[in-house]
């Protein structure tokens, strides 16, 4: 059974399927309309969204102006991963992203696990973004004199928590969602209607076609960049450099508190790889699109963070969900704040669109391999999109967005994405040598890691020597978070030894190490839910995919 669990798809077989336009991994039915500009735009559309308009505030509160270092660290981590994605894309230019890449290198069960994890990135991630969208949209309606009842714009858990906090503080509960919600069957009816409605509209757009989705994304990206440029230009005149002192008020520990929020801001750049079969020249354009979008987005995040922390002291950003609008209200430029709210709605919309495009194409690839029912790979005859998968994605995102809170979802999305990144970086190390590298349109640079990785690991151990010593000496009494840290040290040591012995390529090794470290900084409570999600996925695989897989059929035949 172990051999069948790790049965692999071969690169030549996949490429042959693409050339013949078969129903296995073929490109038949999908429009090849995306170029490097479109891919870069899709990357920016995914990355410049909820992060810069909401989570950047809390990250700035925890880390101060020095949180820009976390943006840079995260960007470098994503950059290592992007280069690994690019190497895979240049060899396997088909839909499926990390799922397909894992199928080639690790085998079927790992591919299923990574495909299941990607649901957290694209599906659950969109739940978070839709909730953020709803918050800005409700504020936007208030700005033009339209009041949306509170019980129609939040989730039951948040409504109850806010109500109990108001009671404890002795403040008024008039107008709160928990107070005004109608009773249905003895229960208060509270739901986030705008969040579900925007998912429905975005799903329709993704269903209609990639060309229409591309045009919409390009428009929204252009508008976002103009708005952010205006924010920076206006904000420069109101910067007080005293607000940048101290630059690291809570030391680097405070900066690292924002790992989940900052990494969540970068989630989505890899969604570009799911559109490989709709690229005119995927081997050339996919690598460029991912790298260009990462560079542009990092520069934007760093500049905007410096501007807003210069305008308002970092200590004022605690629990501020709309930091860009907040800083302009603080300097009595409320109209600019309203303009930013409009932009935030559009920004979140573009993120939703990219994620709703990505998830169906993952399921389409899994279905082609027999791991999901055949309907998931059906292509609409007119719109030439994975129609059934798109509809299912819409329901899976829209229904939870009505009722769930976003905090846990953010952490789960980050874990699922980082897990996928680790496997992609590790998978590159397992790819066979290419006989004729000159014929490829992208080649991952080889840098011998034999001495570099051990030096980096030694520097890390020295820099974290107090934490390492405390974790090891008190291991029986450690918190779950510190146990995760010890696990990282063990894994990092094993990777370091392998790098020294096998002279592994440096970029994917650094990608794995950086992603693993970011993973262990995510709150431990989210890991239990993550493992539960993975276990549920494996139950589905062994109930259906293991037996229905096309590789299983080929072996039995």
- The per-residue pLDDT for range 416-436, each reduced to its tens digit, is 888 888 888 888 888 777 665
| HSE (side-chain half, CA atoms, 13 Å) at 403 | 5
Percentage of residues in the chain having pLDDT higher than 70: 85
Predicted pLDDT of residue 39? 82
Please name the residue that has the structure tokens 């404890």.
168
Distance CA 290, CA 472 (A): 40
Q: Is 187 helix (H, G, I), strand (E, B) or coil?
A: strand
What does the block give as tokens for 396?
Answer: 């899976």
Q: Could you tell me if 393 and 127 are in contact, meaning their C-beta atoms sit under 8 angstroms apart? A: no
Question: What is the rounded average pLDDT of the residues 296-304?
Answer: 87
Q: Could you tell me which residue, 89 or 438, shows the higher pLDDT?
A: 89
CA 34 to chain centre: 21
Q: What average pLDDT is seen over the chain?
A: 80
More confident residue, 192 or 482: 192
Give the mean model confidence (pLDDT) for residues 317-344: 76
Token pair for 315: 């200590």
Check residue 211 and give its pLDDT: 63
Residue 458 confidence (pLDDT): 94
pLDDT of 119 above 70: yes
- The 10s digit of each residue's pLDDT in 203-214 is 988 888 666 566
Spatial separation of the C-alpha atoms in residues 334 and 367, rounded to whole Å: 50
Residue 435 has a pLDDT of 60
Q: What is the mean pLDDT of residues 58-71?
A: 84
- Angle at which helices 334-368 and 36-47 cross, to 10°: 120
Most confident of 24-28, 236-240, 481-485: 236-240
Q: Are 410 and 128 in contact (CB under 8 A)?
A: yes
Q: Which of 284, 269, 264 is nearest to 358 (CA)?
A: 269
pLDDT at 437: 60
* pLDDT value, residue 276: 67
pLDDT higher than 70, residue 476: no
Reply yes or no on whether the pLDDT at 495 is more than 90: yes
Q: What is the mean pLDDT of residues 50-62?
A: 74
* Burial call 213-243: b when 16+ CB within 10 Å, e when fewer: bbebbbebbeebeebbeebeeebeeebeeeb
Given a contact cutoff of 8 angstroms between Cβ atoms, the answer to whether 138 and 194 are in contact is yes
- Between 92 and 517, the more confident residue is 517
pLDDT for 497: 95
343-355 mean pLDDT? 78
At residue 372, does pLDDT exceed 70?
yes
Average pLDDT over residues 129-149: 82
- The helix (H) or strand (E) run that includes residue 184 is strand 183-184
pLDDT at 77 over 80: yes
Give the mean pLDDT of 142-154.
84
CA separation for the pair 490, 509 (Å, rounded):
15
The pLDDT value given to residue 459: 92
Check: CB of residue 528 under 8 Å from CB of residue 348.
no
Comparing 122-126, 155-159, 185-189, the range with the smallest average pLDDT is: 122-126
For residue 492, is pLDDT > 90? yes
Q: Is the pLDDT of residue 1 over 70?
A: no
Render pLDDT for 17-48 as a digit per residue (tens, 0 to 9). 555 444 444 444 566 777 788 888 878 877 77
- The distance of Cα 98 from the centroid of its chain, to the nearest Å, equals 13
440, burial (CB in 10 Å: exposed 0-12, middle 13-18, buried 19+) = middle
Looking at residue 28, its pLDDT comes to 46
Round to whole Å and give the CA distance between 122 and 101: 17
d(CA 321, CA 96): 34
Q: What is the mean pLDDT of residues 97-108?
A: 79
Least confident of 35-39, 305-309, 396-400: 35-39
Sign of CA dihedral 182, 184, 187, 191: negative
Confidence (pLDDT) at 513: 93
Choice among 53-57, 151-155, 158-162, 290-294 with the minimum mean pLDDT: 53-57
pLDDT band at residue 181, thresholds of 50, 70 and 90?
A: confident
- Predicted local distance difference test score (pLDDT) of residue 24: 43
Q: Which pLDDT does position 27 carry in this prediction?
A: 40
On the question of pLDDT at 392 being above 70, the answer is: yes
pTM of the complete model: 0.78
Each residue's pLDDT tens digit, 509-543: 999 998 898 888 787 777 888 888 889 989 999 99
Give the model's confidence band at 200: pLDDT under 50 very low, under 70 low, under 90 confident, else very high. Answer: very high
Segment 63-80 shows an average pLDDT of 84
């Amino acid at each position: 059974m172990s051999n069948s669990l790790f049965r692999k798809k071969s690169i030549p077989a996949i490429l042959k399927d693409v050339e013949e336009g078969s129903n296995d991994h073929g490109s038949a039915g999908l429009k090849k309309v995306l170029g490097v500009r479109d891919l870069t735009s899709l990357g920016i559309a995914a990355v410049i969204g909820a992060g810069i308009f909401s989570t950047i505030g809390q990250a700035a509160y925890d880390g101060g102006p020095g949180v820009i270092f976390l943006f840079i660290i995260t960007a470098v981590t994503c950059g290592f991963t992007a280069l690994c994605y690019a190497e895979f894309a240049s060899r396997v230019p088909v839909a499926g992203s990390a799922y397909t890449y894992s199928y080639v290198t690790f085998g079927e069960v790992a591919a299923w696990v990574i495909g299941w994890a990607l649901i957290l990135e694209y599906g659950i991630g969109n739940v978070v973004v839709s909730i953020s969208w709803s918050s800005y949209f409700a504020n936007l309606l208030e700005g033009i004199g339209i009041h949306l009842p509170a019980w129609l714009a939040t989730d039951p858990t948040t409504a109850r928590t806010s109500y109990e906090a108001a009671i404890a503080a002795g403040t008024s509960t008039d107008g709160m969602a928990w107070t005004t919600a109608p009773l249905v069957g003895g229960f208060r009816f509270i739901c986030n209607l705008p969040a579900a409605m925007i998912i429905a509209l975005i799903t329709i757009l993704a269903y209609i076609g990639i060309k229409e989705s591309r045009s919409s994304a390009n428009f929204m990206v252009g508008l976002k960049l103009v708005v952010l440029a205006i924010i920076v230009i206006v904000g420069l005149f109101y910067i007080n450099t005293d607000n940048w002192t101290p630059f690291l008020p809570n030391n680097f520990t405070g900066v690292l508190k924002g790992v989940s929020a900052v990494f969540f801001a970068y989630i989505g750049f890899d969604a570009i790889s799911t559109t490989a079969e709709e690229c005119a020249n995927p081997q050339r354009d996919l690598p460029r699109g991912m790298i260009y979008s990462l560079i542009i987005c990092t520069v934007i995040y760093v500049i905007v963070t410096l501007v807003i922390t210069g305008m308002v002291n970092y200590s004022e950003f605690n629990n501020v969900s709309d930091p860009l609008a907040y800083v302009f209200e603080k300097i009595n430029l409320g109209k600019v704040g309203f303009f930013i709210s409009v932009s935030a709605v559009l920004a979140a919309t573009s993120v939703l669109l990219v994620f709703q495009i990505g998830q169906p194409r993952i399921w389409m690839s899994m279905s082609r391999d027999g791991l999901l029912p055949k309907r998931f790979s059906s292509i609409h005859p007119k719109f030439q999109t994975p129609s059934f998968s798109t509809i299912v994605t819409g329901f899976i995102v829209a229904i939870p967005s009505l009722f769930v809170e976003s905090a846990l979802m953010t952490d789960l999305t980050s874990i699922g994405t980082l897990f996928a990144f680790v496997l992609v970086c590790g998978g590159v190390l397992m790819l066979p040598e290419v006989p004729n590298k000159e014929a490829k349109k992208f080649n991952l640079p080889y840098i011998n890691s034999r001495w570099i990785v051990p030096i980096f690991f030694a520097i890390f151990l020295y820099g974290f020597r107090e934490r390492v010593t405390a974790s090891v000496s008190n291991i029986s009494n450690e918190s779950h978070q510190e146990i995760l840290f010890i696990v990282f040290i063990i894994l990092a040591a094993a990777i370091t030894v392998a790098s020294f012995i096998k002279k592994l390529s440096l970029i994917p090794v650094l990608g794995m190490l950086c992603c693993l470290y970011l993973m262990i900084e995510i709150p431990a409570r989210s890991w239990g839910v993550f493992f539960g999600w993975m276990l549920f996925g494996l139950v589905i695989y062994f109930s259906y995919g293991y037996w229905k897989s096309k590789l299983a059929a080929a072996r039995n035949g």
